[in-house]
């Protein structure tokens, strides 16, 4: 079994923060080298979410990048996305897996060690931990967990860990050093004067960091190894 290796930078396209269309933003980020995107839109109707997600999926495919839909495995399946990301109040990992299929990615959010331990025992391909720092992208965020929870979680699984919540360019290296495989970034990229330029700075920084011994399990992807399309 080979380990799943996620790109170090995981950009979440939160519809509430986008200054341009989701597809145009995705295209610019992809051109800058981003290879892992998630689309999150809590307000869109099912039809709107489907249409917007299809546009992003079409933009991602030529780049061999990964694209996940937040919350909705049915939409992810219909648009040919790489997978789905679910939270603690969404469908369970196994329920989402039943919808999207065994060969697609399922990621799950956790906010404490108990949730992380439970997630590690599921078929989740990666586990998100956060918020690691104070975040304003959610109306009622969970308590800040800091880098320490990332360190403690790292010892519990060899699945990829994605750190999320308040991540900035200045803090990204610290989180990777704590044991995260990827950093999920929202506002520090989407609200930057030039999101693509900001993303490129993350990529340049994170690619210089040593891989370490927590590179993850089962499916693998890079620019030349395209799976899931």
Could you give the residue numbers annotated as active site? 40, 109, 138
Pairing of strands 126-129, 105-110: parallel
> Which tokens in the block code for residue 195?
């999101």
**Cα separation values, 156 from 7, 52, 116, 183, Å:** 21, 36, 9, 19
The residue count for the chain: 229
DSSP state of 210: -
Give one DSSP letter per residue of 86-155, joined into a string.
E-TTSS-HHHHHHHH-TTSEEEEEE-SHHHHHHHHTSS-SEEEE--SS--SSSSSPPPP-HHHHHHHHHT
Distance CA 159, CA 94 (A): 16
Distance CA 87, CA 201 (A): 29
For residues 100 and 92, the answer to whether their CB atoms sit within 8 Å is no
């Amino acid at each position: 079994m080979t380990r799943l290796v996620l790109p170090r930078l995981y950009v979440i396209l939160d519809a509430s923060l986008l200054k341009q269309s989701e597809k145009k933003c995705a295209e610019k980020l992809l051109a800058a080298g981003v290879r892992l995107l998630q689309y999150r839109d809590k307000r869109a109707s099912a039809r709107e979410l489907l249409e917007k997600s299809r546009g992003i999926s079409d933009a991602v495919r030529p780049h061999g990048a990964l694209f996940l839909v937040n919350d909705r495995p049915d939409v992810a399946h219909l648009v040919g996305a790489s997978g789905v990301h679910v939270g603690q109040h969404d469908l369970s990992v196994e329920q989402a897996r039943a919808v999207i299929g065994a060969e697609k990615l399922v990621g799950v959010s956790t906010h404490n060690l108990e949730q992380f331990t439970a997630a590690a025992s599921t078929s989740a391909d990666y586990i998100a931990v956060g918020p690691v720092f104070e975040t304003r992208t959610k109306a009622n965020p969970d308590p800040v967990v800091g880098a320490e929870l990332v360190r403690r979680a790292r010892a519990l699984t060899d699945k990829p860990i994605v750190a999320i919540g308040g991540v900035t360019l200045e803090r990204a290296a610290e989180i990777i050093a704590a044991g995260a495989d990827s950093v999920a970034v929202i506002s520090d990229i989407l609200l930057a004067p030039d999101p693509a330029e900001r993303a490129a700075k993350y990529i340049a920084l994170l690619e210089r960091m040593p891989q370490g011994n927590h590179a993850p399990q089962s499916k693998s992807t890079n620019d030349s190894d395209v799976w899931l399309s």
